[in-house]
Every structure is written in structure tokens, then in C-alpha cells.
Chains A and B, each alone.
Chain A
Amino acid sequence: MKLHEISKSFGPVKANSNINLTVDRGEILGLLGENGAGKTTLMNILTGLYKPDSGKILIDNQLREFHNPREANKNGVGMVHQHFMLVPVFSVTENIILGEEPTKRFNKIDLENAKNKVLKISSEYKLDVDPDQIIEKLPVGIQQRVEIIKILFRDAEILIFDEPTAVLTPQEVVEFFEIIKNLKKTGKAIIFITHKLHEVLEICDRINVLRRGKIVGEEYPKKTDKKKLAELMVGRTVNLRTSRKKMEQGEVLLEVNGLSILSDNKEYVLSNVDLKLHKNEILGIAGVQGNGQTELVEALTGLRSVSSGKISYFGKEYKNFSPRKIHQLGVRHIPEDRQKQGLIGEFSLTENSILNTYYEEEFSYNITLNWTNAKIEAKKIIEKFDVRTNSENISANKLSGGNQQKLLIGREMSRSINLLIASQPTRGVDVGSIEYIHNQIVFARNKGIGVILNSTELEEIIALSDRIIVLFEGKVIAEFPSDTDPNIIGLAMAGEN
């Protein structure tokens, strides 16, 4: 498959300009790029969602044009999206045939035949999926395999994976790489989109780096390294490893004893959690998503009521306190989902800058808001935290993910702060911004602030934390010092102690 001189513009923005790209059968091509580099646009062109302004798509040396994803499918192009497109209450087979239901007479769906085909694909590529299982009962890794079968079912020859490892545990990642290698052996062409450098080095045969809508480099894993790739991606020198000098633990800032939380359906999502956070310390909470981290953070920030246990800030116990009260203690919270919790997309940057301080004297007099001060605050955050925007009046959802996150972090860290609870601070953020955000977190810790870092990226946890605890099924099952072998932590995350 060959892409020739593909260009696509949105208004004045050139999302893709003159992109040439080839991928052969039996090859894994890594496509590396920051958020907003044009990866998604390019893939949307490949799968028929967008029409390119100019350029050609050749498959087996034949000119092709797709007007919609279905046509792309028919031509053997299939994509596994970052967010799975599965119906949770349907079975594996039902999900796979969705949209292309094979029928018997009288339009009855031919489930039997479909199931056999699923089984056949599953064994051929060693995917090991039970076609009768209901999706919502399957772990994320298996769900991803269902997505893979879905496109193989439609006879895809070119498989595109968009950030496939973002949702997987380290063990699942290993298994996933095996699957990709199997696919490669059978002669499929694979495009692997990611911004994780070590992954492309490990699995890809060839790497194309995309920056500002252009291919800026082609590398081979054997002849390159992370640093070089990162520089290509960002366009400048990047310090990948945040330098972090050792510091003595200070006094205890936060103490949690026997914290348990019952979920709405009467299951313990968190049971008997103990933890301590000190001054000058970054405590990493590792774990595969959905093992109680979200609930823990929500409990600590007052967003979720606690079933039993004690939470003490600065030596004083707080019982079912409000988020505002905790905020007033100088506890800042970077929520895990910036679009759902941390920012209001339709609000302007100015309005977002005062989201949890709007009621304070600086920004309001009685009930009248002081927009002048709010604007000053917004400008301060924008400048200090390097938020790339041309005005503080545009709405937050017009910013890229990285800039949204910088705005959010800036808001939380620019005012007096004693303790920082950061959830997934770099999720969906480009490499350049990750570096910046990591530096800010370490900087805060060096100033004497305690940080709780909740991240599903093990790499991030290891890079930043002074101490690491692992949450599994709502329990703290292990605690490690920062220089532990990632594989051991990975095993703990999978529940093996």
C-alpha cells in the first residue's frame, strides 16, 4: 500500500501536507507523532472518513478512492480505534458481525456461520476469544482482540492500530505484541500509531515520524534510539528522563487509615486502604485502570463519600467534607479526565481559570464576578505554564489536549498549594508537554509539596515517584521503592504478588 502526496487542509490549517507513506505486506510500520501532528487526519483519510484535497491512495498498485469507512473496509483497510466501538451488552460474535450481518433466508441472522468464522480466525491468529462471551464481561485486552477479529472478519489486509497499548496492562501489552507478530507472519500490512517511543523501537520494522502535518523522518529501530525519535517528534532537544534528586521525607501531610468504599451495587471498590504521604514526596499509585484508583482519588478530594475509614489532612481528621473545603486546605486536584471533570469545554480559558476559586475575594465581590482579575489570572497561567493560545477568550475545547492539560495544571499549581493529587496528568498529552508537566510536578515536590501521582503509565510512575504503591481490586497489595524493576511492579499490577 502506498500513499502518494496526500494533502488535507481545514481552513487555514494544513493538517497533512504532501505525505508519502508506504507499507508492505508482512511489515509493521510505526507512525510516531505528537497530538495534533496529523496522525488522526491521515488515518481518517485512509479509512475513508475524510477525502484528501490532493494525492492518491494506491493498494497493490491500483488507484483507490474511499468515500466512507465501509468502502475502505471492502478494500481491505481496517482500523482498531483507541476507544473501542463495541456494544457492551452484545456477545463477541454479535459485535463482530454488526453492520455486516450475514443472513439466512427471510433475513434471519446467520449466527452459527458467523460464530464458526470467528472461531476460525481466533485460532488462526492465536487470539483465543470465546465467541459467545458478552463484551462487558471481558477484560480490556480481550475486547481489543475482538476489535482485531472484527476487521479480520471483513478480510482486512491493512490493519491500522491507533494507540493500541494505552488501555492495556504491561502483561497484556506483551501478549498484544505477540498477536501483531502473528499477523505480520501471515502477510498483513500493519500501521501502528503511537507516541510511546519504546514500543515502536520494540515492535516496528520501520518508523515514520510525523510533525506538523509532514513526515519529518524515517528511521529503523536498529539504527536509532529514543532520544533521536523524541527530537524528531518535538522538533527540539527533549529531556526524557526528568531529573529528580533524592530528598528526605518531611512531615506527614496526609494519612489514610482503613479506607473502604462500597459501590452503588454494594461491592467494595476500595477496601481497607492505608497510606501516608509526606512533604517532599511523590507517592505513585500504580495499577491497571479500574482497580480503585479513581475511587481513592475521589474520596481524597471529597467527591465521593466514604463507607468507613479515616482521612486526615495535616494531622486533622476530615469526615465527609466537601470538595471546596479540601480545596481551601491547599489540596489541589488534577482530575483524571480533564474534559469531563477538570475543565468546562464550552467555557473560555478565563472562565476555566477560576473554576474552583471564583468565589474567592480576588474574583468576586459579594456575588459580582471580577472579570478583570479573572483575565489577569488566566493570562498569568497561560504565560507561566506555556499554554499555546492566541487569546484567553476562546473556549477551552479549542485547545489541543496538551494545552488543555497545561491550563488545568497551571490553574491548580499557580496558587498556594500544600498537596497535589494528580491523576493521569499526561494522558493524551504530547511528548513536549509531558516533559514540561513532569518537570512542574517534580519542581513542586522539591518546594516541599506532597504529591500523589495516580497513573496507569508505569513508566511515568517509575520516572517520578519516590515511593510506589500498587492497587489491585481495591486493595493496596504491594509497596515498592522507586528503583524497583518495572517487571516486578508489572506483575503486582496483574495481581501476582
Chain B
Amino acid sequence: MKIFNYFGNYFSNRETFQEIIVIPVFATLLAIFLGLLLLIVSGSSNEIALKALIALFYGSFGSISSISETLTAATPLIFAALGIAVGFKAGLFNIGAEGQIILGGMAAVIIGFSFQLPFFIHLILILLVGALFGALYAFISGWLKATTGAHEVITTIMLNLIAYRLLDFFLRIPSIQKEGRNDPISKSILDTAELPRILYFLDPNLRVHMGFLIAIFAVLIVYWLIFYTTIGYEFRAVGKNLEASRYSGISPSMTIILAMSIAGLLAGLAGASQIAGVLGRATPGFSAGIGFDAIAVALLGRAHPIGVLFAGILFGALIAGGRQMQVSADVSLDLITVIQALIIIFIAAPVLIRKLFPWIFR
């Protein structure tokens, strides 16, 4: 009951509900509608547009394997977007999730193939070290901002570029590079370091893995951290009003460094879970732009942990559904990119949604 009271503080609030659920839902529906309209305008038949729409839903939620694919794609997005949301709460715009994912994933790979450890311990270690390296990498940006005032947008973008090159470099080190290959590809992690597939008992091909459960757990932890701890209180105070937080005795520098590091920690977990749950090895493109998609997810989730969870699943659904769309309706995957972009536009302009659907906000 107590928890419910607390919860009511933040969520039973009508406005928060609109912010986090209603606007994103309508933004998404509108974006899908416009995406299909674009399809028809560009010369596809109505039938194909309908097929694409059905495929989009079928491919994302229509079967156990679609749901599995949706959640698999959602997992790293949720982790990284949670990190970005923590940054948002503290007034930081962390563009560097991509780099942090790379560092976290890279560290996870190295841990994954170089140690012979029992199953559970190895798994814990690979995740912890991945998170640690993500955090360390983000710490650099936080530290630079706190001590020199260097803007985190600039430093994280630069660190992303450095991370790409670091990855190229690491993948060519003989002790990391896969035996017998000249191209940049790492050794594979051992079975003991893999995140088990949680629907293995239904069908071994269902890829959704334990990382998704950990992601949900992370959502709860971050929710608690932001709204029920002094640390989260400090983050939000610094994010909303730097002057007032200084007045209240909070050290903005320490807060910025800590917030950035936690953001990196979560992005690092995204990288580690991707390695341990899906890929099993690192290649130059293993981060696959997840760090950038996660920015969109964090925005769509209005930087609220619960919002991020749903937004992450939605983006995962777009990825899985988009695949089905290309297979069965022969519609290019680029349409998904268009829909994602439209969603972000509508989220960035909530007034537009309020104007278009006045009846839902009455």
C-alpha cells in the first residue's frame, strides 16, 4: 500500500500519464499512418500498404517467435535508453551511448573468451565488467564537463569516434582476433558466459534471452534510484535547476560525474548483454547504432524509466515487424527508419499531438 502511495505521487497524476503513455502512443500511431500514406503516395498499391501494416503487427507481436524477436531487439535499447534517461534527468544529453556500448561490449568479449569460469560466475563477471567499462568511458565526459565545462554533447560524440577506432584496433590484436581470420573479428565467448535463452524450453531458436529480464530489473532499479533516493533527487535537482541545486548544497560537479557514469554503466550493460546474449563475439559494426536509436527511445519514453521500457519494446517491435514487412510485403526496411523519425518529430512537438487529437486530452 505504501508503495502504491509513493507511486501515486508520480504516476496516477493525469499529466504524467499523458506525457508518458498517451502522447507516445498517439505519436506512434500517427507515424505509422503517415508512413503507410507515404508508401501509397510513392506508388504502392493500397493492398501492399495493408499487407505492410499487417506484417508490421504480425512480425512484432503475432507469434511467439515474433515476440521473441521484438524483445531481443528491445533489450539493448532499453538498457542504453535507461542510461540516456538518467542523463536527461540530470540535465545531460549523452550522445555517447554508442561508444559506451562498444567499450562495454569489447570488455565483455575479452572477459568472455579469456577466462574459464563456472557458468553463473562467468556470466555475472562478463556483465559487471561490461558495465564497468561503459561507466569508465562515460566518466571521461562527466569529468571533463565537471572540471572544464566542456559540453557533454561534444565530448561524447568525439568519444564515439574514438571508440570506433579503438574497436578496430582491438579486433586486430592477435590475442583478441579470431584464429585464422585476417579480418577484424574477435574470438567467440565461451558458453559459460552466454546469457541463456529464456524460451529455450519452447523452441531453441527463440532468441530472447535473460538480458531482457535483467533489463526489466534495471528499469525498476533506475525508477527507484531516480524517485526514491537522495542520489536521484540530486540528479533531478541539478537537471531542473542548477542554481537551486547549488543553493541546496548539492555539488553539481559530483552529480554530473555520477549521472554520466551511471548512464555509461547502463550503456555498457547494453553492450555486454548484446555480446553475451546475441552475438557472442565482436565485429566492427556490432554496436549497430543501438546507442543512437536509444536516444530516440529515451525521448519517446519521456526519460521516465517505465516510459523507456515501453518505448524500447515499441522500437524492438518496429525492428522485428519491419523485417516481416520487407519479407512479406516487399516494402523496404527504410520505411521503418522513416516511421521512427516521424515518431520523434511528434514527440518533440507534443502540441501537435494535442491539437490533432484534442478529444483524448479532455
Contact = CB atoms under 8 A, between A and B. Distances in A.
A and B touch in the complex (CB under 8 A): yes
A367 B241 CA distance: 21
A443 interface: no
A369 interface: yes
Interface stretch (B130-138, B228-236, B270-278, B312-320): B228-236
Contacts of B244: 340-344, 355
B237 to A, nearest CB: 6
A342 B245 CA distance: 9
Contact of B247 (A333, A345, A346, A359): A333
Interface string A339-368: 011111111101100011011000010011
Contacts of B240: 344-347
Given A303-B247, A356-B249, A344 B241 contact: yes
Contacts of A393: 9, 13
B247 A367 contact: no
B33 interface: no
Interface string B31-65: 00000000000000000000000000000000000
Nearest to B232: A369
B248 interface: yes
B6 A323 contact: no
Contact of A367 (B13, B229, B236, B249): B229
Given A324-B249, A393-B9, A359 B241 contact: no
Contacts of B151: none
Residue from A344, A356, A358, A393 having most chain B Cβ neighbours under 10 A: A344
A385 B317 CA distance: 52
B146 to A, nearest CB: 15
B181 interface: no
A81 to B, nearest CB: 24
Contact of B237 (A323, A324, A355, A367): A355
B231 A367 contact: yes
A341 B229 CA distance: 22
B189 to A, nearest CB: 34
Contacts of A347: 236-237, 240
A75 B245 CA distance: 46
21 contacts: A303-B246, A303-B247, A323-B249, A333-B247, A340-B243, A341-B243, A341-B244, A344-B244, A345-B240, A346-B241, A348-B9, A356-B247, A358-B230, A359-B230, A359-B249, A364-B229, A367-B230, A368-B230, A369-B228, A371-B228, A372-B2
Interface of B: 2, 6, 9, 13, 228-231, 233, 236-237, 240-241, 243-249, 251
Given A356-B247, A358-B233, 15 more contacts: A303-B247, A322-B249, A324-B249, A341-B241, A343-B244, A344-B241, A345-B240, A345-B241, A347-B237, A355-B237, A355-B248, A367-B230, A368-B228, A368-B229, A393-B13
